[in-house]
Structure 1
Amino acid sequence: MKKLMIILCFVLASATLSQAAVKGYEINYLAGETQLKGYLAVNEKIEGKRPGVLVVHEWWGLNDYARERARMLAELGYTALAVDMYGDGKTAEHPGEAGQFAAAVRKNLPLAKERFSAALEVLKQQPSVNPDQLAAIGYCFGGAVVLEMARAGLDLDGVASFHGSLTTDNPAQPGRVKARIIVFNGADDPMISAEDIAAFKEEMQAAGADLRFINYPGATHSFTSPGADELGRKFDLPLAYNAEADAHSWQALQEFFREIFR
């Protein structure tokens, strides 16, 4: 028992030191003439260059949730940039407004690609980043965005979508997808139909993409977000946090990164 307590104390102490070493910085950059406001998280106790990861926010915009995920990645040893896809760091307080913000980007692929690519260039320029080891993750709206960037053939080692939309107006073309793809989906998400899943898998297979698809029984939309239950009740939306699916998907993401960044 004493040995177990010593090990537990060491693990907790290591986690605390890792968290303390992570620094977060608000960072401004441009895409065309649009001012974008991102959040950079880096573990300053780690020396040398390491993989860089973009984090694309939910349809609410670049809020504290996206920042926290960037910090969690930094604790794991990556340098992470939570991006601003809406411009000027704006966020939405109501689903109607969030839907408008998201649609303006989703319906304009050149705009989405410009803003994503601008963030990618900022990430590459960080002293702590190996520009040859890059990935992107996204949540809900952000999950759809990273899948679109993979379809567009951006030079990424991998992308991960968490409860993101799978449909597209720009299907992947054979040989164009460079990034390995992992999708974490709630099997009970009413926003993602069985037909959507089947069509997405068929699209990726036809394009020759490297796809891993994980479906979580009992999980619905926004299953990784601890604030999903409150938002679901407030706006009468089918949102719910699922601690088991959240924990499993985060662990699976770490395994995915270890594979693609060998």
Structure 2
Amino acid sequence: MDVIETTFEYAVGAQRYVGLLLRAPGAIPKAAVALLPDWRGQSPLARDHAGHLVTLGCTVAIADLYGDGFSPDSPDQVGPMVQRLIAHRELGVKGLAACVERLRREVPAGTPVLCLGYSAGGMVALDYGRSNGDVAGIILCSALLKTAAEGMDTRIRVPVLVLQGTQDQVSPMAMIAAVIEEMDAAGNDVRFELYGQTHHAFDNPEAGTDPHARLVYSPLSARRARQAIAAFLDEVTERSRGH
């Protein structure tokens, strides 16, 4: 399938964000997805994930996590940026809200909009849901999971799908359990799909397959996650149409 890729700009006050918009030429999308990538931003992996969503019938905006279109190419560059997102989680929420508002202008009125977050992007997506984010559904895949920040609401008003590995050292089972407890207490519509023998970044082929590493690619879990994402998209879009 041909995919058109264009610059996607939005702003929060004086802060400018530069993402990417991917769509199929001439197609009417069944949904729009704000994709929050892992720490590398608009990387080949993020483009691959977005391109796959386009084949499923979506228009996709790859959000700019850090502002000004910054896409780091080494962990040394990004450490302080991710720590800033963690320390000031409200900034990520504001940026995503602006991204979603801008994305709505790129699709026909009434098109369901969802968020899909990977790693640090998953933290932002879940916080956006906690902040009464105006979307039809939220998906997290190999996310940097965090319980709600102090003063943050825990109620999420839309369905949430969380896809995590049981061997994830970034978001270990204790954190997964804490988030489940929070979601249950708030009465949220959340489902968790856990993949055994699966580590953080299981969606990333560049992570390698050394089982002793912190980041490990799992082609089986990556394939299962894409199937789960596709099924969730179908469910949410059908619900949005009143079926």
**TM-score, normalised via structure 2 length:** 0.90
Q: Deviations over 1:74-97 (max 9, x none)?
A: 111111100002011112233233
Q: 2:176 aligns with which of 184, 197, 207?
A: 197
> Does the Cα contact within 8 Å between 1:52 and 1:130 map onto a contact in 2?
no
How far apart, in 2, do the equivalents of 1:27 and 1:33 lie? 16
Runs of 4+ residues deviating >6 angstroms: none
Q: Deviations over 1:125-180 (max 9, x none)?
A: 01x34445110101111111111111111121111111112223427646x31121
The code of the aligned residue for 1:43 comes to A
In the alignment, what sits opposite 2:92? 112
Aligned residues: 237
More displaced 10-residue stretch of structure 1: 69-78 or 93-102: 93-102
Please provide the CA RMSD for this pair: 2.1
The code of the aligned residue for 1:23 comes to I
- Structure of higher CA gyration radius: 1
Q: Secondary structure at the match of 2:133?
A: coil
The code of the aligned residue for 1:148 comes to D
**TM-score, normalised via structure 1 length:** 0.84
How far apart, in 2, do the equivalents of 1:130 and 1:78 lie? 14
- Write out aligned runs for 1:99-138 (5 A): 99-126=79-106, 128-138=107-117
How far apart, in 2, do the equivalents of 1:248 and 1:49 lie? 23
* CA drift at 1:45: 3.6
How far apart, in 1, do the equivalents of 2:115 and 2:89 lie? 17
Q: 2:34 aligns with which of 25, 31, 54?
A: 54
* CA drift at 1:241: 0.9
Q: Secondary structure at the match of 1:85?
A: coil
> Does the Cα contact within 8 Å between 1:37 and 1:84 map onto a contact in 2?
yes
Give unmatched runs, 5+ long, in structure 2.
239-243
The answer to whether structure 1 residue 32 and structure 2 residue 16 are counterparts is no
Give unmatched runs, 5+ long, in structure 1.
1-18
The answer to whether structure 1 residue 160 and structure 2 residue 139 are counterparts is yes
The answer to whether structure 1 residue 73 and structure 2 residue 71 are counterparts is no
> Does the Cα contact within 8 Å between 1:105 and 1:111 map onto a contact in 2?
yes
* CA drift at 1:237: 5.2
In the alignment, what sits opposite 2:120? 141
